[in-house]
Structure 1
Amino acid sequence: GSGLVESLQDCGAAGLASSLAEMARDTGIDLHLDRVPLREEDLEPWEVMVSESQERMVAVVRPQMLAAVEALCERWELAHAVVGEVTATGLLRAFWKDEGVGEIPARLLTDECPRYMVEQRPRPAPAPVDPPVGPEPRTALLELLGTPNLRSRAPIFRRYDHLVGSRTVRRPGFDAAVLRLRPGYRGLAMSLDSPGRFARLDPRSGGSRAVLEAVRNVACTGGEPLGLTDCLNFGNPEKPEVAWELAEAIEGMAEACEALRLPVVSGNVSLYNETDGRPVCPTPVVGCVGLVADVRHVPGGWRPGDAVLLAGASPLALAGSEYQAQYGRSGGSPARLDLGAEAALVEFLWRVAPACSIVHDASGGGLAVALAEAAILSGLGAELELPDDPRAWFGEGGGQAVIACAPEQVDRLEADRFGEVPLRRLGVVGGDRLLGIPLAALLAAHS
């Protein structure tokens, strides 16, 4: 990094009270509230302390770096002010025109803050449902590609600037996006994911899947996952069933993070999301950032003659899948997760990706949708064989990824799978059809 700042926080929930308490817990901070730039006049000191804005940041800067930081703020026309100093008192103290207006040990707002347990009541397990009955698999694939959750998002993200400073190596819409870190060739891979209906059927499993899907997306670019952030969207936690959903989702996320040995470095919650007393479905969203060693080797699309393989981890099921939502009734129990196998799959993917022409996570819509997305991206079909079984085509839940590479690379992939990641050959790249469907028809359905 530049070394300009020692610590940096946004003034989101609870404003300066929260951000400075976290900064001061190991030292102490004196804050002069009358020096804080304001958007509104005549605010009381306590209002300045707790006002919230995602657009404000508070930084701790060494005195010798202050002029450089101020110059940077002026370059970008950012309002700024020195509003306090770090102390050794362990206290968060607030002043207004040099008069003390508040004081508290910072640890009482952080590590030793008051805690309370909300009542939790597990929801009944989802009732078994009849297996979904859809049309023959090729028709189902075309229909699924056009559903709201699976169709192309290009019309949305193209409305915004996603070519950040001409550093965008991979654009949004396929696993993770990748930005180059100049002046070298390292890059950052970034992804957001959420488990959809899985969290409603099983909140703990849903929390784990949110982590795993975001991490797999980064791994598919060749990015070694570094850390996570989250946004937890739930109903009213004062209702015991919702409190249970929230606690279970967090436990599931923690279990996945422990298996992957990844930290959650930030996050927020959005609670009380209800309409006429009906809560939203539990929706944990997870973001992942990973480091790409060389952006020149990010997989870009499969090539004629490439071998197509499937790497897998946990079992698959139709419960919670897009196929079930389209052709049946939501219910049942999602497939069991093997977190050890999932972690092995993630490591395998980011290690082998630089030697592959494509590595693509197969999650929403299952394997058949992932293959169609790979063909659309590459502008090239493939001759493949899949079992005549909806679960093989459209099953979800367990981690799996489509891999394409030159035939001579297959032996290396076999050697690099640590003996833990199952690999299965699906076919070979070539032609203008996929699974018997013209590429033009796939593209039309997905657009």
Structure 2
Amino acid sequence: MDEPKITEDLIAAHGLSPDEYALILEIIGREPTFTELGIFSAMWNEHCSYKSSKKWLRTLPTEGPQVICGPGENAGIVDIGDGQCVVFKMESHNHPSYIEPYQGAATGVGGILRDVFTMGARPIAAMNSLSFGEIDHPKTRTLVNGVVEGIGGYGNCFGVPNVGGEVRFHPAYNGNCLVNAFAAGLADTDKIFYSAASGIGMPVVYLGAKTGRDGVGGATMASAEFDDTIEEKRPTVQVGDPFTEKRLMEATLELMKTGAVISIQDMGAAGLTCSAVEMGDKGGLGVKLNLDAVPQREEHMTAYEMMLSESQERMLMVLNPELEAEARAVFEKWDLDFAIVGETIAEDRFLILHGNEVKADLPLATLSGSAPEYDRPWVETPAAEPLADVPQIDPIDGLRALVTSPNYAAKQWVYEQYDHMVMADTVRAPGLGAGVVRVHGTDKALAFTSDVTPRYVKANPVEGGKQAVAEAYRNLTSVGAKPLATTDNLNFGNPEKPEIMGQFVGAIKGIGEAVAALDVPIVSGNVSLYNETDGTGILPTPTIGAVGLLDSLDDLIGGIARDGHVAMVIGETEGHLGQSALLAEVFNREEGDAPHVDLDAEKKHGDFVRDNRTLIKACSDLSDGGLALAAFEMAEASDVGVTLDADDTPTLFGEDQARYLVACNFDEAEALMVAAGQAGVPITTVGRFTGDMVRMGSSEAPLSELAHAFRTGFDAAHR
């Protein structure tokens, strides 16, 4: 088959600028072949090369005594003691999910699970952070139903509990939803597998499912804005098979026990191209591939298609040749392909052969390391104007507006479609803050959460970035877990716009400050840029996934409020209403500054909660909706009423940070007050859990009425 002629239009269609194409000509000294153009496009697109973000990502704290492996591998690794570690990462599948909701979300789950078990870890938990457009937008219901069904369809069949996450709605996501998928797994610290190839002349082995044409060009598509040609991009969305993925995981973990694996890499974005180049580059080796040996499920596939296919459930491995027979037997047992498709070579070359022809011959290290790195112009986000007035509302009316909003109503319709009890180690189910999963065979447990408040980030990227980390820290602390480390999924618009790049830079600065102050380094992550449609960008959404450790399940704060329990707030309440949920949902105003985040107070108050967990029966961090929403949610979960002493809007709905709502009996409340005084931590009694009414000052409503509204408020999003 004749290859297409390289033209300006073809170069542009591959997401390469004229300057980038000129750099390719300089590197290889000739015009690239069509396959080589595709390879450069795959390796140099934003999704794979981080060319707009690398400069700023390097500033993030990524190290600590608990960190075994930081960014740069398939996932981050953190020590949890006793010879075990937790392996975790969060990644986006935004563009594919907007084009094809079910498969886009499903393959997002599949890809993040492979990142985890590729390193030798068995997945034990998944989460998802989802952002959709406004409820009455014509596409929202289809997206919500398709994405949720895709996540459940893949994760449930694979067999991993989905223990948490978040769902939000905002007009800024009308043309570009966000699907951020998180997975975590357990491994032994002496049995971790990495991707760097080693040894010359070692077989390069293709593992898993066959290669098809689905997903060709997917990484390039993920690095571009949407426009009215969106339907033409549907073929770039991969198709997933969770049952094959399950077999692939079992075969991979079994293979690792044979000693045959020298290095191993998931075939994710840019498929065979990215996996082979990364393995060779990390090991300082070249790679030679013979595409005639690649297992294919479609006829007459070209070299270009095979190199750029993002067909799912595939891995690439460098094999110890002495153990080839044992390795092949494992994959044949699991009815999966095992094919030697190449070898490592001493020369710095990425050599691709197909049909006895050389389809690509490129300098591998340069291909990997010479991706353009841009210092994009950026402008600082202007300081937000203070609120012109502080709105007042009857407290029950304000609360009712929040609990009936799809943003703050109960999300049981979502998480009940996910299996959260598979593996039988889930200790705390979704819908109650951080999810908690037992470390199987021990008394330890791990807690998981994902958090961000995009309104805050848009108003004040630095404080918004800090707040996302701080809220994740508080959510882990609220179940008694010691926060260990974080992963980030940085979703932004077009970085070529200085104001968007300024949001990104500010958020990175805030995140960096917070992870350093709270000792929760970033160990893995993903950047998703160009989340725009027809020039309209999303809200800046730097999602933070966080993992915490409970040394014993006895340390879990997992109870509920009981009749007669005292309600207390740990932390200072000033009544900050700028960018608050109340302002947005009730008054349709996104105004004012984000709340200030005092990281010293966050650390001090978090330590206090964990140090005094035996005195606390139930705990929730205070964030969106402030005291009113947190108290209602605690009451609703406990099926007991609550009476709050305050009746003013700022005290009830303000979103001051570094605060926790706790419930405990009278004796424990007294002891907590004494401990807080000794520690210099602010604490205030704000009311009591009792009866069957929700009362705030003189305003009241039956708990049952508000609970029904809370449980049905999400219905409009999916019916």
Normalising by the smaller structure, the TM-score range is 0.7 to 0.9
Residue number in structure 1 paired with 2:609:
349
Moved more, 50-59 or 231-240: 50-59
1:23 Cα deviation from its structure 2 partner:
4.6
Which of 196, 201, 207 is the aligned partner of 2:465? Answer: 207
Moved more, 433-442 or 357-366: 433-442
Residue number in structure 2 paired with 1:242:
500
1:374 Cα deviation from its structure 2 partner:
0.4
Q: Deviations over 1:298-350 (max 9, x none)?
A: 41312233332211268651111111112252111122221121222333334
SS in structure 1 of the partner of residue 592 of structure 2: coil
Decide whether the 8 Å contact of 1:132 with 1:329 is kept in 2. no
Counterparts of 1:60-139 in structure 2, within 5 Å, are: 79-81=337-339, 93-96=350-353, 101-102=360-361, 104=363, 106=365, 109=368, 114-139=372-397
**Separation in 2 of the partners of 1:131 and 1:66?**
72
1:257 Cα deviation from its structure 2 partner:
1.0
**Separation in 2 of the partners of 1:358 and 1:303?**
9
Q: Residues 291 and 53 from structure 1, CA distance in 2 versus in 1: closer, same or farther, beyond 3 angstroms?
A: farther
Structure 2 residue 219 is the aligned partner of structure 1 residue 32: no
Which of 677, 701, 704 is the aligned partner of 1:440? Answer: 704
Decide whether the 8 Å contact of 1:222 with 1:352 is kept in 2. no
Which of 386, 402, 413 is the aligned partner of 1:144? Answer: 402
Structure 2 residue 529 is the aligned partner of structure 1 residue 280: no
Residue number in structure 2 paired with 1:13:
269
**Separation in 1 of the partners of 2:565 and 2:323?**
53
**Separation in 2 of the partners of 1:39 and 1:354?**
58
Structure 2 residue 660 is the aligned partner of structure 1 residue 401: yes
1:366 Cα deviation from its structure 2 partner:
0.8
Return the letter of the residue paired with 1:173.
G
Q: Give the gaps of 5 or more residues in structure 2.
A: 1-186, 195-263, 712-719
Q: Residues 258 and 131 from structure 1, CA distance in 2 versus in 1: closer, same or farther, beyond 3 angstroms?
A: same
Q: Residues 202 and 180 from structure 1, CA distance in 2 versus in 1: closer, same or farther, beyond 3 angstroms?
A: same
SS in structure 2 of the partner of residue 246 of structure 1: helix
Moved more, 190-199 or 364-373: 190-199
Residue number in structure 1 paired with 2:566:
307
SS in structure 2 of the partner of residue 160 of structure 1: coil
Residue number in structure 1 paired with 2:433:
175
Q: Residues 31 and 412 from structure 1, CA distance in 2 versus in 1: closer, same or farther, beyond 3 angstroms?
A: farther
Q: Residues 438 and 119 from structure 1, CA distance in 2 versus in 1: closer, same or farther, beyond 3 angstroms?
A: same
1:183 Cα deviation from its structure 2 partner:
1.4
Q: Residues 17 and 75 from structure 1, CA distance in 2 versus in 1: closer, same or farther, beyond 3 angstroms?
A: same
Moved more, 371-380 or 183-192: 183-192
**Separation in 2 of the partners of 1:82 and 1:409?**
65
Q: Deviations over 1:194-249 (max 9, x none)?
A: 21311111122222212222222122112222222222222111111111111211
1:62 Cα deviation from its structure 2 partner:
6.9
TM-score by length of 2: 0.56
**Separation in 2 of the partners of 1:181 and 1:38?**
39
Structure 2 residue 632 is the aligned partner of structure 1 residue 372: yes
Decide whether the 8 Å contact of 1:309 with 1:404 is kept in 2. yes
Residue number in structure 2 paired with 1:361:
621
Which of 521, 546, 552 is the aligned partner of 1:294? Answer: 552
Decide whether the 8 Å contact of 1:313 with 1:342 is kept in 2. no
Identity %: 36
**Separation in 1 of the partners of 2:477 and 2:347?**
42
SS in structure 1 of the partner of residue 431 of structure 2: coil
Structure 2 residue 587 is the aligned partner of structure 1 residue 327: yes
SS in structure 2 of the partner of residue 166 of structure 1: coil
Decide whether the 8 Å contact of 1:6 with 1:60 is kept in 2. no
Decide whether the 8 Å contact of 2:428 with 2:558 is kept in 1. no
Number of residue equivalences: 444
**Separation in 2 of the partners of 1:239 and 1:151?**
35
Q: Residues 207 and 64 from structure 1, CA distance in 2 versus in 1: closer, same or farther, beyond 3 angstroms?
A: farther
Which of 449, 452, 455 is the aligned partner of 1:197? Answer: 455
Return the letter of the residue paired with 1:149.
N
Q: Residues 43 and 369 from structure 1, CA distance in 2 versus in 1: closer, same or farther, beyond 3 angstroms?
A: same
Decide whether the 8 Å contact of 1:310 with 1:403 is kept in 2. yes
Q: Residues 308 and 234 from structure 1, CA distance in 2 versus in 1: closer, same or farther, beyond 3 angstroms?
A: same
Residue number in structure 2 paired with 1:267:
525
Moved more, 202-211 or 371-380: 202-211
Return the letter of the residue paired with 2:507.
A
1:445 Cα deviation from its structure 2 partner:
2.4
Moved more, 318-327 or 41-50: 41-50
**Separation in 2 of the partners of 1:90 and 1:425?**
70
Decide whether the 8 Å contact of 2:574 with 2:650 is kept in 1. no
Structure 2 residue 430 is the aligned partner of structure 1 residue 166: no
1:72 Cα deviation from its structure 2 partner:
6.8
Decide whether the 8 Å contact of 2:449 with 2:472 is kept in 1. yes
Moved more, 412-421 or 279-288: 412-421
**Separation in 2 of the partners of 1:10 and 1:313?**
47
RMSD: 3.3
Q: Residues 331 and 305 from structure 1, CA distance in 2 versus in 1: closer, same or farther, beyond 3 angstroms?
A: same
Decide whether the 8 Å contact of 2:400 with 2:706 is kept in 1. yes
**Separation in 2 of the partners of 1:236 and 1:405?**
48
SS in structure 2 of the partner of residue 340 of structure 1: helix
Q: Deviations over 1:368-394 (max 9, x none)?
A: 1000000111112234322x3211111
Residue number in structure 1 paired with 2:687:
427
**Separation in 2 of the partners of 1:302 and 1:72?**
52
TM-score by length of 1: 0.86
Q: Residues 415 and 33 from structure 1, CA distance in 2 versus in 1: closer, same or farther, beyond 3 angstroms?
A: farther
Decide whether the 8 Å contact of 1:315 with 1:337 is kept in 2. no
SS in structure 1 of the partner of residue 655 of structure 2: coil
Decide whether the 8 Å contact of 1:5 with 1:60 is kept in 2. no
Decide whether the 8 Å contact of 1:222 with 1:353 is kept in 2. yes
**Separation in 1 of the partners of 2:432 and 2:544?**
17
Decide whether the 8 Å contact of 2:574 with 2:654 is kept in 1. no
**Separation in 2 of the partners of 1:136 and 1:26?**
61
Residue number in structure 1 paired with 2:442:
184
